[in-house]
Chain A
Amino acid sequence: DAGVIQSPRHEVTEMGQEVTLRCKPISGHDYLFWYRQTMMRGLELLIYFNNNVPIDDSGMPEDRFSAKMPNASFSTLKIQPSEPRDSAVYFCASGLRGGYTFGSGTRLTVV
């Protein structure tokens, strides 16, 4: 199994631009999580899905952030418009109850 695949690995964009982060979970996993990690705030849960349905999006910082999971094999996290304070490493994780596998993350830099 290739594990949880995130793309791109690195993204540098200008303030105000739209950014889309992608995640392919492990086949058969019914939970998918999006996290953001910064030095100041640590690892924050943004949103998570169960069977493609958003369960809790209370961690999404603002309306500028949106996440979708159109099918069991794909999810996106979109930021529009992006701001410098969105710079962070964004992780996707998937799993069944009892253990979750993380992707390698997308390092986002907004200048």
Chain B
Amino acid sequence: SQELEQSPQSLIVQEGKNLTINCTSSKTLYGLYWYKQKYGEGLIFLMMLQKGGEEKSHEKITAKLDEKKQQSSLHITASQPSHAGIYLCGADMGGFQKLVFGTGTRLLVSP
């Protein structure tokens, strides 16, 4: 079973629309990471969240961490074709930097 579940698994949105991707953990989170992967390429680090209630933004992407719910959300405002790719959440599940990843969310942005 997956320790990190992402939803939705895939998403098609129209350019300009907002969207949210969720990441839920079955265990206590010691650090939550968001990465983006373009098809056929490596992972690009977006941001890391450590404390409950923490929120970070990078350009039009905002991520929040709800420590009590063991959940994080990634929100994209006014999506663009350049946002297309696979979004992966990763987490340190035991406090020893053992970084495991979720199932991924495939995002397509249609013009």
Where the two chains meet, the residues of A that have a C-beta atom closer than 8 Å to any C-beta of B are 31, 33, 35, 42-43, 45, 48, 50, 55-56, 91, 93, 97-105
Is B88 interfacial (CB 8 A cutoff)?
Answer: yes
* Count of chain B residues near A, Cβ 8 A: 19
- In the complex, which residues of chain A have a beta carbon less than 8 angstroms from the beta carbon of B35? 102
In the bound complex, CA of A102 to CA of B44 (Å): 7
Inter-chain residue pair count (beta carbon < 8 A): 47
Where the two chains meet, the residues of B that have a C-beta atom closer than 8 Å to any C-beta of A are 31, 33, 35, 41-45, 48, 88, 96-104
A interface majority secondary structure: strand
In the bound complex, CA of A77 to CA of B18 (Å): 41
Would you give 29 A-B contacts (Cβ < 8 Å), ordered by A? A42-B103, A43-B104, A45-B98, A45-B99, A45-B100, A48-B97, A48-B99, A50-B97, A55-B96, A55-B98, A56-B96, A56-B98, A91-B42, A91-B43, A93-B43, A97-B97, A98-B31, A98-B48, A99-B45, A99-B48, A100-B33, A100-B45, A102-B42, A102-B43, A102-B44, A102-B45, A104-B42, A105-B41, A105-B42
